[in-house]
Amino acid sequence: MSLGRLAPMALIACCLSASPGLAADVTPGHDPWLQKNLAPLLDLYRHLHSHPELSFREFETARRIADELKKAGADVTTGVGGLGVVGLLRNGQGPIVLVRSDLDALPVSEETSLPYASHVTMKNGSGNVVGVMHACGHDIHMVCLVGTARWLAEHRDRWSGTVVLIGQPAEEAGDGAHAMLADGLFTRFPRPNFALALHVAHDLEAGKVGYCIGPAMASATSVDLIIKGKGGHGAMPDATIDPIVLAATLVLDMQSIVSREIRPIDPAVLTVGAIHGGSRHNVIPDEVRLQLTLRSFRNEVRDQMIAGIQRRAKGLAEAHNAPEPIIEVTDTTPPTVNTPSLVEKVMPTLVRELSASNIETVEPTMAAEDFGMFGQDGVPTFMFRLGTVPAERIAEALAKNESLPSLHSSLFQPDPEPTVRTGIRAMSAAVTALLPPARPLPAASARAASTGD
């Protein structure tokens, strides 16, 4: 039976039945190494957290990650897709595994009061000064990448092949993976047989890993709409074509696309995130601009939403004798899909490394991630989620009927020690699950090496 066809809980059960004793015994795995090496990695985390940089401006972040990968023994190339970092760990013949971390932070002013909280400000794309914070956990991701690189470099007897270590810019902008791929990531460097990533979770206990099979994160499509009208005096609406009224009607009408045109079993989200129009109380403007985000797991659903938007916007303009609207689909990030066959390869090792009690099945999310782009050329992909929240904080929130600070919140606060420890254990275990052990030297070669001949 193929595990890839099983539901997530059944997959864990199969992992346990295939390896008796796993539920009771936790393989020590990386613990001795982590006890010795975790402190400097936590120092790195605190540095990265307090020195965040916005998308496509991760100059110092990229430099630091490149330096750390070099120190770990990787052959490092910088400037891939702008600020992307590629580190290669080679260890003989074998498969090629890509491990990706993102580098960028968010325009969020931190409010955690941590001793290493960010006080950084930068100018955003509009030229406004904004606070900057690693509110999506990319600092955790980077430290796990560096820790995994160090562990793999010091345990070459456990694996053979090539590990491609990626520091990717501009995940939050949705452009970083595309920029690296367009700059020859899969042609200038070894094309991976598998691609792995982790992402922090704001609602999962630190020390645990969550996963799902198949679609894990939605596609994200941005749509810009310009509703045209005919401006004039607010006291003489009969002499105008009011684009604000048209925009308000359209915003409400578009909600019926998901509720009445998309099949109920197909997840879909259509959100109007911004409306810009008008300048004074008594002036009807010439146009109103709308910005939308569309989320889905299937391209057909995305296309159906776009068609519904176009049909409604154009029909509304015609009904009100208004100029035809301008509709632009500006960018699309594909869904992130956990390839069933890859999940099947990795999960038994994660269960063995962390124990079944620390593995949880999680639901797919309509949030988006450009990691899915690494799988567009047929590369199997797997992104698992990394718990960040102390158990007592989760229990307290439940007792008070409060929600935990989400990703992108100014109050998001991972618990670094168990989160980094678990992330490194999980990712390095996942990599070695996909790579065969290093072949021992033939006896004659081993004797020659030991005598210096």
- Of 229, 257, 232, 254, give the one whose Cα is nearest residue 243: 229
Backbone phi and psi for residue 183, each to the nearest 5 degrees, phi listed first: -90, 15
Contacts of 290 (CB under 8 A, 6+ apart): 224, 225, 226, 227, 247, 250, 251, 272, 274, 275
The residues pairing with 126 across neighbouring beta strands, listed in sequence order, are none
Task: Name the average pLDDT for the chain.
Answer: 92
Query: For residue range 136-185, what is the model confidence (pLDDT) as tens digits?
Result: 999 999 999 999 999 999 999 999 999 999 999 999 999 999 999 999 99
- Of 364, 362, 359, give the one whose Cα is nearest residue 337: 364
Scan for tokens 């590629």, then name that residue: 86
Give the pLDDT score at 7. 61
- Of 270, 269, 284, give the one whose Cα is nearest residue 227: 284
Contact between residue 170 and residue 179 where contact means Cβ atoms under 8 Å apart = yes
Query: For residue range 94-145, what is the model confidence (pLDDT) as tens digits?
Result: 999 999 999 999 999 999 999 999 999 999 988 999 999 999 999 999 999 9
How much is the pTM? 0.90
Alpha-carbon span 165 to 318, nearest angstrom: 53
- Give the DSSP letter of residue 406: P
Give the pLDDT score at 441. 52
Enclosing H/E stretch for 399: helix 391-399
Query: For residue range 289-343, what is the model confidence (pLDDT) as tens digits?
Result: 999 999 999 999 999 999 999 999 999 999 999 999 999 998 899 999 999 999 9
Give the pLDDT score at 22. 38
- Give the DSSP letter of residue 435: S
pLDDT band at residue 219 under the 50/70/90 scheme: very high
C-alpha 241 chain-centroid distance: 43
